Amino acid sequence: MKFFIDTGITEEIKEAQKRGWVDGVTTNPSLVAKAGKTHEELIKEICEVVEGPVSAEVLSLEAEGMISEGLELAKLGQQVVVKIPMGDEGMIAVRELASKGIKTNVTLVFSALQALLAAKAGASFVSPFVGRLDDIGSTGMVLIEEIRTIYDNYGFDTEILVASVRHPQHILEAALIGADVVTVPYGVLAKLSRHPLTQSGLDQFMKDAQKSIHT
């Protein structure tokens, strides 16, 4: 399973890269705003340090504007994947961009039928937001299971990019289901290597090592 990091903070990307956690990057308008840079500056900066896919989201709400924005974003780097919000206008844009060989990531997906539309439109990635579904008392990972089943039933190439990840359990369940990608905030990635028994075992080894005979 590929790990993308969900951030607009380049320093987080670099720290995660040291640990082998960055197969790609996803951004969105909220993350760009937090970065304190223009969208173009940020995407160019990320493309200078990341070889994998870099998702950059359009702001237009109509297909024509999405397409023209997407064409411009694609010029910022060969890694750029144009992020398009789910909707009728977005599907028109995805089809047009795909016909021009430009990769897309359909975002703000909350149902399996939306994911089916994204695949039929030729999206490279689909971003179902599991955390936001959990936030309203639904079960985000059930959506991932449904999408995995539908995509496998019909052989769609669209990659399932699990997004809105809130904790390590989302990553575990995504891997068990067979999602292609998870996009994860740095703070959640940083939790994955930790386990209380690992720490207590290491502490005990260090304590016992003090007792061993040193030549």
Catalytic machinery residues? 83
Least spacing, CB of residue 78 vs ligand G3P, in Å: 21
**Chain centre distance of CA 132:** 14
Provide the angle, in degrees to the nearest 10, between the axes of the packed helices 140-154 and 168-177.
20
Compute the distance between CA of residue 111 and CA of residue 155 in angstroms, rounded to an integer. Answer: 19
Query: Is 28 a residue that touches ligand G3P (CB under 6 A)?
Result: yes
Site string for ligand G3P, 158-187 (x = CB under 6 A): -----xx------------------x----
Contacts with ligand G3P in 112-131 (CB under 6 A)?
127, 129, 131
Query: How far apart are CB 12 and ligand G3P at their closest, in Å?
Result: 13
Residue 82 CB, nearest distance to ligand G3P (Å)?
A: 14
Residue with tokens 């009728």: 88
Per CB under 6 A, residues contacting ligand G3P are 6, 26, 28, 127, 129, 131-132, 163-164, 183
